[in-house]
């Protein structure tokens, strides 16, 4: 067998997000079930045919999903929580994903949602308990979709999440006894996997792809033992039933170095897939382990989760080395992970008047990544000569990008190199700043503020869209937005809020808004990737050295300040959040890019201060999610993440009050870094969480001021006054009263005006209640 080509999964939304519109239409009732299922089938066929026509040998099936492939696996093995038991079919499936309310008959909440490793994809974890019984669904989705492809003449390699990762990704039911360990379910689960693999074998599958991404993470000895136990049992079951299907175990998002021996020791597994983009350093370990065990390797050399063209020459050298050591029949060329995390294709980027030719030349989306994989495969099979033109064109793009003046900005590079330690700290320590700020701001006790955005109504979104399209003039746009800002300021004054915001009406998205104004950051027309269910995001593309040619927020903020005597808070997005929510250049460490953004934000902070703004908030909701998967890499990340934030925030005088905001409340384990950020005021999500996080602040004697959100902004429900005062009472068991700010959990942009007014009234009343007691 020659070297083969493979991918681990294909984006399912379709070239124009067809799946999103089908599914959402179905939810609204404008698309029938039959039309939804037919439309989905068409998309699957289309995507298989694209892969076939490009020359991919191992084409996955069952990577498609109407909502989430991890939830699909739970359905395949019958792990359906009790409360959905009365439902069936699509109704049951979507009820698990997003809840279901039918007046008088059904009212079930959805399952929660979790981030899939360090991607922006969110999956639906099912809760497991001792009473969970796995049963293989009859004619399950993997079998149906394998047969569907077979019917159009394509023999696929069915994908399903592997049994150990299935359990590790699942949750433990809250009501389960504490001695219950979800990993105890492994034997029962594996027996069902054996059943499924047997059925797929009977249908004609030769290979199965089992994803075990946890194999690249830190595993406890118990988890390692469970891996061996699971695959020993699976191999025995398959042998006993004479199932001849070969198993590929796929690992990704990190190198396989630490667990390479374990992965290759898994009984009954014929091939291992390793991510050689994130884990290029583990190449030797992987190939040696393959040689020692006689197994095959799938080399993930084309990045499945970024938008850049692969540099084919070094990738090809890895493939060639592996072929020399292992022989061609034991090597395949693949995407590093599923292409689910890439946009569909570059076609749309090439259309229209404003084509950014450089950017198009530098990028490869899923369809173009198929070409890259096939070129590498052919080069390995027949020699470089056979694909000379493609290799030359690739080398030309890669070197063109390296040398482009749009990538390289010597001034930015020099400025970063010249950063002094004094540019990473405020002038005085917090205690001294606190006094100066108190004199300037003269805020009452328990000061109130909000997190930044106010309701974004349909008319507001229309105004922005029309301006973007050019159907609304700049002056008219500015007039309308100023009207909005004035209304938001008045609204806050009427409520008697202490530190005001301008409302962020000009922003579609907190990262996009800044990305559009920064040099070195570009945008795609159609570069959508699935975030969860039918939700897609179109991240900015950071392609070069980042700088800020002009002030980005000063005009709006100073206008808002001119309308009130109360302090107006300038609102910015921090460097780590801009980094984490964008596609990032792969030709320099993320650290450098983050710090460049930090300097650009610093310029804005200094300009705001110069323009008379006394309070400036730099949002960093993504700082926790940027953490590497491996613990050993945390310190390094946290060091540069903190430095990037400090670069952005420390250019001001002591009297300027720096706020930051973070949602997602689970950062007890990064408290050191949070303290090092040294912001004067930090607002965090807190309304729904227990006191664990606040206790962590207490334990560390967090010296600066803290605004734990006192109401949840994700719901329409207006939290009553008593609930909010209770919340503050609880807070005071952990925090000194004179450090507490009163604010919501997050921005209000998704709320309506009416509920916002009602809930903020209660918020201000809460502050006043405690003021009078203090
Ligand atoms: N300032 C932003 C807002 O209020 C913060 C959003 C966020 O933290 N995700 O919308
Ligand atoms: Zn937030």
The whole-angstrom separation of Cα 698 and Cα 735 is 6
Which of 450, 451, 492, 537 for mutating ligand 1's site (highest number of atoms within 8 Å of CB)? 451
Catalytic center residues? 714
- Pocket lining: 616 vs ligand 1, CB cutoff 6 Å: no
Give residue 665's pLDDT. 65
What's the CA angle centered on 155, arms 153 and 161, to 5 degrees?
140
Cβ–ligand 1 distance for 20 under 6 Å, the answer: no
Going by the DSSP 8-state scheme, the letter that residue 138 receives in this structure is: T
For atom 10 of ligand 1, the residue with the nearest CA is: 747
661 lines ligand 1 (CB under 6 A): yes
pTM over 0.90? The answer is yes
Q: Do the beta carbons of residue 230 and residue 186 sit within 8 Å? A: yes
Beta bridge partners of 537: 529
Is the CB of residue 744 below 6 angstroms from any atom belonging to ligand 1?
A: no
Query: Which among 582, 513, 524, 523 has a CA at the least distance from the CA of 548?
Result: 513
Q: For residue 658, what are the contacts with CB-CB under 8 A and spacing of at least 6?
A: 426, 605, 616, 617, 618, 649, 652, 679, 680, 681
Asked if residues 727 and 718 have their Cβ atoms less than 8 Å apart, the reply is: no
pLDDT along the chain (774 residues), means of 10: 96 98 97 98 98 98 98 98 95 95 88 92 96 96 98 98 98 93 98 98 98 97 98 98 98 96 98 97 97 98 98 98 98 98 97 91 98 98 97 98 96 98 98 98 98 96 94 97 98 98 96 97 96 95 98 98 98 98 96 98 98 98 93 97 98 98 84 97 89 91 95 90 96 96 96 96 98 87
Beta bridge partners of residue 429, listed in sequence order: none
State in Å, rounded, how far the first CA of the chain is from the last one: 79
Beta strands 207-211 and 615-619, pairing class = unpaired
Q: CB of 571 closer than 6 A to ligand 1?
A: yes
CA-proximal residue: ligand 1, atom 6 (nearest):
747
Give the Cβ contact number of residue 192 at 10 Å: 21
Give the ligand 1 atom nearest the CA of 621.
Answer: 8
Q: How many angstroms does the Cα of residue 625 sit away from the middle of ligand 2?
A: 13
Tokens linked to 269: 């597994």
Probe target for ligand 1 pocket from 120, 452, 616, 714, with the most ligand atoms within 8 Å of CB: 452
Q: Is 453 in the pocket of ligand 1 (CB under 6 A)?
A: yes
Alpha-carbon dihedral of residues 646, 648, 653, 654, nearest 10 degrees?
-40
301 lines ligand 1 (CB under 6 A): no
Q: How far is the CA of 605 from the centre of ligand 1 (A)?
A: 17
Instruction: Enumerate residues 6+ apart whose C-beta is below 8 A from 82.
Output: none
* Nearest ligand by distance to the CA of 663: 2
DSSP 3-state of 531: strand
Which CA distances in Å does 205 have to 22, 202, 208, 243?
Answer: 30, 7, 7, 10
The CA 661 to ligand 1 mean position distance, Å, reads 8
Residues 344/10, Cβ–Cβ less than 8 Å: no
Residue among 460, 621, 665 to mutate when testing ligand 1 (max atoms within 8 A of CB) = 621
- The CB of 501 under 6 Å from ligand 1? The reply is no
pLDDT at 39: 98
Is 747's C-beta closer than 6 angstroms to any atom of ligand 1? yes
451 Cβ below 6 A of ligand 1? yes
Give the DSSP per-residue string, 598-663.
HHHHHHHHHHHHHTT--EEEEE-TTTTTT--SSGGGHHHHHHHHHHHHHHHH-SS-TTSEEEEEE-
Q: Could you tell me the distance, in angstroms and rounded to a whole number, from the CA of residue 660 to the centre of ligand 2?
A: 10
* H or E, element range at 374: helix 366-382
Residue 246 pairs in a beta bridge with 207
Q: How many CB atoms lie within 10 A of CB 267?
A: 14
Ligand 2 center–CA 673 separation, angstroms: 18
Whether ligand 1 lies within 6 angstroms of the CB of 447 is answered as no
Neighbours of 386 (CB within 10 A): 14
For ligand 1, atom 3, the nearest C-alpha belongs to 747
| Tokens standing for residue 181 | 């360990």
Report helix angle 18-28 to 33-54, nearest 10.
170
Give the span between the Cα atoms of 604 and 609, in whole angstroms. Answer: 9
CA of 355 to the centre of ligand 2 (A): 34
Give the ligand whose atoms come closest to the C-alpha of residue 571: 1
Which atom of ligand 1 sits closest to the CA of residue 749? 10
- Assign residue 669 a region (left: φ > 0; alpha: ψ between -120 and 50; beta: otherwise): alpha
Mutate to test the pocket of ligand 1, among 500, 504, 556 (most ligand atoms within 8 A of CB): 504
**Which pLDDT score, from 0 to 100, does residue 1 have?**
82
Quote the ligand 1 centre to 761 CA distance (angstroms): 20
């Amino acid at each position: 067998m020659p070297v083969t080509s493979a991918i681990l999964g294909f984006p399912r939304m379709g070239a124009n997000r067809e799946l999103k519109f089908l599914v959402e239409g179905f939810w609204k009732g404008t698309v029938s079930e039959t039309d939804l299922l037919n439309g989905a089938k068409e998309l699957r066929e289309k995507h298989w045919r694209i892969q076939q026509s490009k020359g991919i040998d191992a084409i996955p099936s069952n990577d498609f999903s109407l909502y989430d492939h991890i939830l699909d696996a739970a359905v395949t093995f019958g792990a359906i929580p009790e409360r959905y038991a009365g439902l069936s079919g699509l109704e049951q499936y979507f009820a698990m994903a997003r809840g279901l309310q039918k007046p008088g008959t059904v009212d079930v909440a959805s399952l929660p949602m979790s981030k899939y490793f360090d991607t922006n994809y969110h999956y639906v974890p099912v809760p497991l308990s001792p009473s969970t019984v796995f049963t293989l669904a009859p004619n399950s989705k993997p079998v149906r979709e394998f047969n569907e492809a077979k019917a159009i003449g394509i023999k696929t390699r069915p994908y399903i999440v592997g049994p150990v990762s299935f359990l590790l990704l699942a949750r433990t039911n809250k009501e389960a006894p504490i001695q219950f360990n979800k990993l105890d379910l492994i034997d029962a689960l594996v027996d069902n996997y054996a059943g499924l693999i047997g059925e797929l074998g009977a249908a004609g599958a030769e290979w199965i792809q089992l994803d075990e991404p946890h194999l690249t993470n830190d595993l406890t000895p118990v988890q390692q033992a469970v891996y061996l136990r699971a695959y020993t049992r699976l191999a025995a079951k398959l042998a006993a039933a004479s199932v001849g299907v070969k198993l590929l175990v796929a690992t990704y998002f990190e190198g396989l170095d630490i667990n390479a021996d374990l992965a290759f020791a898994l009984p009954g597994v014929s091939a291992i897939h390793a991510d050689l983009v994130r884990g290029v350093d583990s190449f030797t370990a992987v190939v040696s382990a393959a040689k020692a065990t006689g197994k095959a390797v799938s080399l993930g050399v084309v990045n499945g989760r970024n938008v850049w063209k692969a540099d084919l020459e070094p990738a090809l050298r890895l493939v060639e080395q592996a072929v020399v050591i292992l022989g061609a029949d034991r090597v395949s060329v693949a995407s590093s992970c599923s292409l689910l995390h890439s946009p569909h294709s570059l076609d749309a980027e090439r259309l229209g008047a404003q084509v950014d030719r450089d950017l198009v030349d530098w990028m490869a989306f899923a369809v173009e990544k198929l070409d890259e994989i096939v070129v590498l495969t052919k080069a390995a099979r027949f020699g470089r000569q056979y694909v000379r033109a493609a290799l030359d064109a690739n080398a030309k793009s890669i070197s063109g990008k390296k040398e482009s003046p749009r990538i390289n900005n010597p001034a930015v590079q020099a400025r970063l190199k010249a950063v002094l330690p004094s540019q990473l700290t405020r002038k005085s320590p917090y205690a001294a700043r606190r006094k100066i700020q108190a004199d300037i701001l003269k805020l009452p006790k328990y000061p109130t503020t909000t997190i930044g955005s106010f309701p974004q109504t349909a008319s507001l979104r229309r105004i922005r869209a029309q301006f973007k399209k050019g159907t609304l003039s700049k002056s008219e746009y500015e007039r309308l937005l100023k009207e909005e800002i004035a209304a938001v300021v008045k609204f806050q004054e009427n409520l008697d809020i202490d530190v005001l915001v301008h409302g962020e009406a000009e922003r579609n998205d907190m990262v996009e808004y800044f990305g559009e104004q920064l040099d070195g950051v570009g945008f795609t027309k159609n570069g959508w990737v699935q975030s969860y269910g039918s939700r897609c995001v179109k991240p900015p593309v950071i392609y070069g050295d980042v700088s800020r040619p002009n002030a980005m927020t000063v005009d709006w903020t100073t206008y808002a300040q001119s309308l009130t005597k109360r302090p107006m808070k300038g609102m910015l997005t921090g460097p780590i959040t801009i980094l984490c929510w964008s596609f990032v250049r792969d030709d320099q460490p993320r650290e450098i890019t983050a710090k460049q953004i930090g300097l650009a934000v610093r310029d804005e902070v200094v300009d705001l201060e110069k323009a008379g703004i006394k309070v400036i908030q730099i949002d960093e909701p993504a700082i926790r999610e940027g953490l590497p998967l491996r613990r050993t890499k945390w310190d390094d990340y946290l060091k540069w993440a903190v430095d990037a934030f400090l670069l952005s925030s420390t250019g001001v005088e002591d009297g300027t009050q720096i706020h930051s905001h973070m949602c997602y409340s689970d950062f007890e384990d990064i408290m050191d870094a949070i303290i090092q950020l040294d912001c004067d005021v930090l607002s965090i999500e807190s309304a729904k969480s227990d006191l664990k996080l606040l206790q962590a602040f207490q334990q560390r004697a967090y010296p600066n001021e803290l605004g734990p959100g006192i109401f949840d902004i994700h719901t329409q429900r207006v939290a009553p006054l008593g609930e909010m005062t209770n919340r503050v009472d609880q807070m005071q068991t952990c925090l000194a009263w004179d450090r507490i700010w009163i604010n919501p959990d997050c921005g209000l942009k998704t709320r309506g005006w009416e509920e916002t007014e009602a809930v903020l009234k209660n918020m201000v009343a809460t502050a006043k209640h405690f003021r009078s007691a203090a």
